[in-house]
Structures are given as structure tokens and as C-alpha cells.
Amino acid sequence: MTSNMPRIRASFIDKGLRFTNAFANTPLCGPSRSNILAGQFSHNTGVIANAGEGAGYPTWAANGYDTNNIGPWLKAAGYKTGIFGKYQNDYPTSQAETFVPPGWDDWRVVMSDRVAYNDYYTLNENGTLTIYKSETGGYQADILSARLQSFIKAAETNDSQPFFALLSLGAPHTPTAPAARHLSAYPGATAPRNASFNEPDISDKPRWFQDQAPLMDSATIAEIDTDYRGSLQALLSVEDATEALFQTLDQLGESSNTYVFFTSDNGLHRGEHRLRGGKNTPFEESIRMPFYVRGPGVPAGRTIDHLAGLVDLVPTFLSLAGATIPASVDGMSLTPLLSSTPQALASWRPEMLIEHPGGAGLPIRIPAWYGVRTQSETYVEFDNGENEYYDLRNDPLQLNNLARQASSSTISRLSARVAALKACRGASCRP
């Protein structure tokens, strides 16, 4: 969507480094935020779903992650820490409603065990609960952006102490609920229509998928277009927040001293492969992430093709801070890639684990799956015995599942990597 977000392009792509092969390791918001905060794959955090068994904050807290994540680790390293927005699904279920986990100096977290829409939500602000409504000036992205700017300004009163801030906005999550000032933007915009949109022939896909993905009718397509326009409109508030961030850093003279990362927790289907919404599939629309970095020594206007995942954020942050990376972390530090002379592609990881260890899949019932994404291939094994293989150089839209046609050596090679990575932990997850 960067063509529709010129300020994001100007702030990040033109002035920083763009990762072209960055992925959500579990492309579902709750598990993905666990990947981001703990630097571990979902099969290790145990947070594998948004609802039900293995879901959200109750699982996160029960497995000890309130005290084992990037906030407490950086605070222990001397950083002033703040979080603004989403933390975990169903936070703070199993705790007092005013509970604030240790390790965060400024805690402004949306309580997702209540209504948590962009235009109506409850915020835990350092133990005080406040209900906000957009109709009275409380649009979520605006409030969180304002709290972030206040945090940075307060942090800079002690210039010798570094700060870490995590801004986790709800926009453009459905229901999109754009800010009132943006409701007239993008009139007539429609979701992209590439060859995978309402894919006419899915006979190559696994049987469980064929059984649940009928051709979309005109009414469904119209709904997709409406939601797409709402997402574009909601993303304008993300641009506003990003612009405000850099204005604050410029005013404080800290732009050249601060690393800023921009990404998301999952992609979203908008009619591709007949999927009219949702995520948690191994398709590119679900797993591929925007991933941009600005900061000291980071080259401007450059792209890099090395494989990166959301599990890499924690070790990267800790490495940049000069802090110890816990042995529990599964990801790799991206710091060797953040200069004008990055580590050679040939010596970087050859594949990235993608996985859905279980739990609900939306909008379809999806079996558990594990797979690998290489520079040019996607290979996935489902727990019902079916699998998928796509040659992305010749089939970037994943129209032709070649699992039955590919050579046995190709499938054996990739299957061996899936077997190793689906059970990996810590150092065994890295090449």
C-alpha cells in the first residue's frame, strides 16, 4: 500500500532501508505480537491463537512472558521503556483490571478483553482505566500518538538515558473505523485485482481449502472493496502518527541518534485465492510484511533481499542496545544488514520458518501447518497430510501448487528443513 501512503514512503523508504523479504512467522495478530515481544516462534511461546486454547494474554502470562520480553530486558539494560497500544489479546484476563506488568516505565495499553475498536476502547494508562471515544476527541491512533510524543519528550529530559518505545496501532484492523477527518479520502478505491483475485481454478490447492473457498459473488466483492477503502482511510492516521514521531525527534535533535522500525503483525486477504478476509494462511498476502528501518548508519533509499522475520526484532533491538540476548530467543539480529555493506546474501539464512501450530483460522477452518519460505519457494506441510509447494520465481501469485510435480529431491530438502525448524528452540533455530 506504499503507493497510497506517500508520507510513509518519504519517511522510511526514501530515508531508510527496506527489507523486501520480511515475513510474519505466524500471520495472526495475537501470536505475532508474541513473536515480536519475545523473539520466539509460536511453537515456543505457546501463544498460537487469538481465541480459545493457547490464545492471548492468559497463555502469555501463564508461560512467564510478562517478565521475559523486550520491555523488561531493555529496562534492565538501562533503557526508559514505553508501550502504546496493543499488548496481548484478552489482556488483562486472569489479572486485576489495573494490572501493569513489570519492565515498562510508561504503560498505555488497550484492554482487549473489552471493546477495543479504533473509535471506542478502554486504555490502561499506568494503572488508571480511561474510556475513549472518537466522537469526543479520543480516536485511538491520535491518543496513542500523543502519549508516545509525551513519553519521548519526557525521556529526553535525561539525555544520558536511552529510550525504547513500542507503538502498536489498531489501524487498519477491521472494523476499520477511520478517523472522521479521513472519511472522504480514496473515493472509489477498489481492492487490487491481480490474477489470484477470486482465483477461477483452485483444483491445485489442498482439499480442505477447496471445500471452504467458493467463488465470490458481486456482493462479496463489493464488501471487500468497501473494507479496502476503509483500511486506506484508517492508514492515514498511521501516517499522521509517523509524521508526528519524526517531527518530535527532529525538534529534540534525536533523529540521527534513534533507530525507528516500521512493520505489521500480519497481512490480510482481500479476495486473493477467493479469501474474502482473514489471515493465518501461508500465502504471500498473509505472511509478507512491510519492513522499514531508519537510524544511525542505515543507508537511505536502499533495499535488501535477505530473509527477515518478526522474531528477529528482539535480538536486533538488544544487539543495538549492547545488551545480552537471552538464550531463549529464536530470531537473528539484523544488525549485520543495517549498514551500506551488509552481510552477503549467500551467508545469510537460506529459509525462514512460517507456522500455524493450531487454533482457529479465519475466515476458514485451517489445519495446523508448518512451512519454510526461501528466497524463491514456499513449502508447507499441513497436519492432515496435504502440502503445498510454490516456485515463486515463475509463480509469484501462487496460482500453481506444484507439490505433486516437484522433484523428490526438492520436496525432501524442504521437508527436512520444516522438520528441523518446527521443533527448534534458541540457537537451533538459526543457521
Give pLDDT tens digits for 315-372. 999 999 999 999 999 999 999 999 999 999 999 999 999 999 987 655 678 899 999 9
Would you say residue 65 lies in a domain?
Answer: yes
The dihedral built from the CA positions of residue 247, 250, 251 and 254, taken in this order, carries a sign that is positive
* Residues 164-167: contacts with CB under 8 Å, at least 24 apart: 164/70, 164/71, 164/74, 164/79, 164/80, 164/81, 164/82, 164/317, 164/321, 165/81, 165/82, 165/83, 165/84, 166/70, 166/71, 166/82, 166/83, 166/84, 166/85, 167/84, 167/85, 167/241, 167/245
In angstroms, the CA 199 to CA 193 distance is 10
Would you say residue 363 lies in a domain?
Answer: no
φ, ψ at 174 (rounded to 5°): -80, 145
Q: What is the pLDDT of residue 172?
A: 85
* Per-residue DSSP letter, 244: H
In angstroms, the CA 361 to CA 356 distance is 9
Q: Which of 113, 109, 131 is nearest to 121 (CA)?
A: 131
Would you say residue 370 lies in a domain?
Answer: no
Cell 482481500 belongs to residue: 270
The dihedral built from the CA positions of residue 431, 23, 146 and 96, taken in this order, carries a sign that is negative
Write the CATH number for 38: 3.40.720.10
Q: Is 29 among the catalytic positions?
A: yes
- Quick check: 285 and 267 in contact, CB under 8 A? yes
Q: Is the pTM of this model over 0.75?
A: yes
Name residues whose C-beta falls within 8 Å of residue 147's C-beta, 6 or more positions apart in sequence: 84, 106, 108, 125
DSSP H helix total and E strand total for the chain: 11, 16
Q: What is the pLDDT of residue 118?
A: 86
pLDDT by residue, tens only, the chain of 431 residues:
567 889 999 989 899 999 999 999 999 999 999 999 999 999 999 999 988 889 999 999 999 999 999 999 999 999 999 999 999 999 999 899 999 999 999 999 999 877 778 889 999 999 999 999 999 999 999 999 999 999 999 999 998 999 999 999 988 887 888 999 999 999 999 999 999 999 999 999 999 899 989 999 999 999 999 999 999 999 999 999 999 999 999 999 999 999 999 999 999 999 999 998 888 999 999 999 999 999 999 999 999 999 999 999 999 999 999 999 999 999 999 999 999 999 999 999 999 999 999 876 556 788 999 999 999 999 999 999 999 999 999 999 999 999 999 999 999 999 999 999 999 999 999 99
- 308 strand-pairing partners: 22
Would you say residue 28 lies in a domain?
Answer: yes
Would you say residue 225 lies in a domain?
Answer: yes
- 102 by Cβ neighbours in 10 Å (0-12 / 13-18 / 19+) ranks as exposed
Would you say residue 173 lies in a domain?
Answer: yes
Cell 546474501 belongs to residue: 345
In angstroms, the CA 252 to CA 250 distance is 5
C-alpha R_g of the chain: 21
Q: Which of 383, 381, 382 is nearest to 412 (CA)?
A: 381
Would you say residue 37 lies in a domain?
Answer: yes
Instruction: Kindly state the helix (H) or strand (E) to which residue 242 belongs, with its residue range.
Output: helix 218-252
Would you say residue 390 lies in a domain?
Answer: no
Q: Exactly one of 29, 191, 320, 353 is catalytic; which is it? A: 29
Query: Residue 321 belongs to what domain range?
Result: 2-340
Name residues whose C-beta falls within 8 Å of residue 210's C-beta, 6 or more positions apart in sequence: 202, 203
pLDDT in tens, 258-309: 999 999 999 999 999 999 888 899 999 999 999 999 999 999 999 999 999 9
Work out how many domains the chain is built from and give that number: 1
The dihedral built from the CA positions of residue 405, 411, 414 and 419, taken in this order, carries a sign that is positive
